[in-house]
Amino acid sequence: MFIVVVGAGRVGSSLARAMLGDGNEVSCLDEDPESHARLDVGLESSWEDSGGQFTVGTGLEVDALQAAGIERADAFVAATDGDNTNIIISQIAKRRFDVPIVVARILDPLRASWYEEQGLHTICPTRIAIDMLAAEVRGATGSAKG
C-alpha cells in the first residue's frame, strides 16, 4: 500500500515510521525541511534508504501533494497541527484525487464529530484523551468507594 502522510511532526512522523515498518510505501509532506530529521529516528538507515519519500511543501498546494505522490495513494493521512488544514486537505484527497482511505486528525471534538457526520473519517486525540482520563477517574473513584 502507498500512504501519503501530510505533517511530519511527532504524530505524523511516528505514524509514517510505523507504516514503513509494516512494509508499506510511505511518502511524507511537510513545509518544514527540518521535520525530516524526525523520520530518521529509530531507523537503521536513513528514511530514504529505508524506502521512504519526503517532500518539502504545504499540503494546501496541489503541486506539493502531487510531488508527494497523492495521485497513486491508497491511503492519505492529514496530521498537521491545524484542524482547518487537515479538513481541507482531506477533502482534496478524497474528492479531487479519489484516495480510497482518507483520515484527518482533528483536535476539536465538536468539529471532529461534525465532520465525521459529513462523511470525513476523523481521529480526535482530544476526545480519546478525555474518554481515557474520565475512565481512569471513574475507575479510581469506584475502587475507593468499594
pLDDT band at 146 (very low <50, low <70, confident <90, very high): very low
> Which three three-digit cell numbers place residue 107?
483536535
pLDDT band at 143 (very low <50, low <70, confident <90, very high): low
Indicate if the pLDDT at residue 142 is higher than 90.
Answer: no
DSSP string, 58-114: -TT-HHHHHHHTGGG-SEEEE-SS-HHHHHHHHHIIIIIS--SEEEEE---HHHHHH
Q: What is the pLDDT of residues 4-52, one digit of tens each?
A: 999 999 999 999 999 999 999 999 999 999 999 999 998 889 999 999 9
Q: What is the pLDDT of residues 49-69, one digit of tens each?
A: 999 999 999 999 999 999 999
Burial of 8 (0-12, 13-18, 19+ CB in 10 A): buried
3-state secondary structure of 54: strand
Q: What is the pLDDT of residues 72-121, one digit of tens each?
A: 999 999 999 999 999 999 999 999 999 999 999 999 999 999 999 999 99
Indicate if the pLDDT at residue 141 is higher than 50.
Answer: yes
